[in-house]
A = this chain, B = another copy of it.
Amino acid sequence: MEKTRAVTARPSPEAARDIPEATVARLPVYLRALTTLSEQGTSTCSSEELAGAAGVNSAKLRKDLSYLGSYGTRGVGYDVEYLRYQIAREIGVTQDWPVVIVGIGNLGQALANYSGFRSRGFRVVALLDADEARHDEVVAGLEVRPFSDLEQIVSDHAVAIGVIATPAVAAQDVADRMVACGITSILNFAPSVLSVPEQVDVRKVDLSIELQILAYHEQRKTQGAAS
């Protein structure tokens, strides 16, 4: 009676391959909302409640969850712990991800100290900086090491994810070296467009771009009031 896609009750890794990007980007938001609910002692929630906590509408939430499987109970809702685990497993944060941060300026230090990484399965294994003057400095309990140690560290810790927090001018070089070492996922805070091989994923966080998007809308609000 069920549709073809849903027939495989526990979706195998293969079957689950086609989760839309927009859904993938929201799964961590749901995960965080479930963690909050769990900490508040909530053991069951409806799609309406969870959607509220995550800041989306409930139709979208249910549609998103339907790509993972059927983890709810009609007429009842979702078991918070169970759903939390299923989403964590789907994202991959039930395992430990060693991460290396390159560029230990203000932002790099803030990232090294950010407790939100550790609690979500990410472990910062090394801090690297090209500036010799910074070496042996200790940040967040880790010694800052020369950039040339990258290869050794990546191979020692099986690092798959690299974070770039260098100035723009250095970012492409760092990315090239990361790729050469076998890193296949990069989070880039430098304001520059990286070119990498197809199999390497790059995500970009650009603080001033976010402000500019706000400014665009802000400008129109004010204009509207003036005209």
Chain A positions near chain B (C-beta within 8 angstroms): 13-14, 17, 24-25, 27-29, 31-33, 53-55, 90-93, 95, 97, 99, 105-107, 109-111, 113-114, 116-117, 120-122, 160-161, 163, 184-187, 191, 193, 195, 199, 201, 203, 205-223, 227
Contact = CB atoms under 8 A, between A and B. Distances in A.
Contact of A120 (B93, B199, B211): B211
B24 A215 contact: no
* A-side interface mostly: helix
Total identical chains: 2
A161 B211 contact: yes
A106 B113 contact: yes
Contact of A92 (B110, B201, B216): B216
A191 to B, nearest CB: 6
Contacts of A219: 91-92, 95
B215 A161 contact: yes
A185 B220 contact: no
